[in-house]
């Protein structure tokens, strides 16, 4: 039981920080979109467009096992699976 609690708490923390990482990348993109770039010189505009183009793709951490994003939705699915397995285990006893 202790191992299960440690594993679940580690998974929750990892998924929480994966979601925070994704959220901060999206906030950075919104910040870039709101910059007053039209008053800059040409060299800075080119650099701005390069950074903006590279940052408009969503940043996320992928799971190697399930090929999906690690975020709050994955955490919900994980808890659903654990709850289902616990219910099945209780019914067998």
Residue 32 binned pLDDT confidence (cut-offs 50, 70, 90):
very high
User: Which residue in 64, 67, 74 sits closest to 19, CA to CA?
Assistant: 74
User: Is 70 within 8 Å of 61 (Cβ atoms)?
Assistant: yes
Residue 1 binned pLDDT confidence (cut-offs 50, 70, 90):
low
Q: What mean pLDDT do residues 43-56 have?
A: 91
Total structural domains in the chain? 1
> Which residues span the domain enclosing 11?
2-92
Q: What mean pLDDT do residues 38-56 have?
A: 92
H-helix or E-strand spanning residue 92: helix 72-92
Which pLDDT value is given to residue 13?
85
């Amino acid at each position: 039981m202790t191992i299960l609690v440690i594993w679940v708490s580690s998974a929750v923390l990892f998924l929480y920080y994966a979601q925070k990482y994704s959220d901060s990348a999206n906030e950075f993109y919104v910040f870039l979109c709101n910059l007053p770039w039209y008053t800059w010189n040409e060299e800075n505009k080119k650099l701005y467009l390069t950074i903006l183009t590279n940052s408009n793709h969503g940043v996320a951490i992928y799971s190697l096992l399930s090929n999906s994003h690690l975020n709050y939705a994955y955490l919900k699915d994980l808890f659903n699976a654990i709850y289902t397995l616990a219910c099945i285990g209780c019914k067998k006893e």
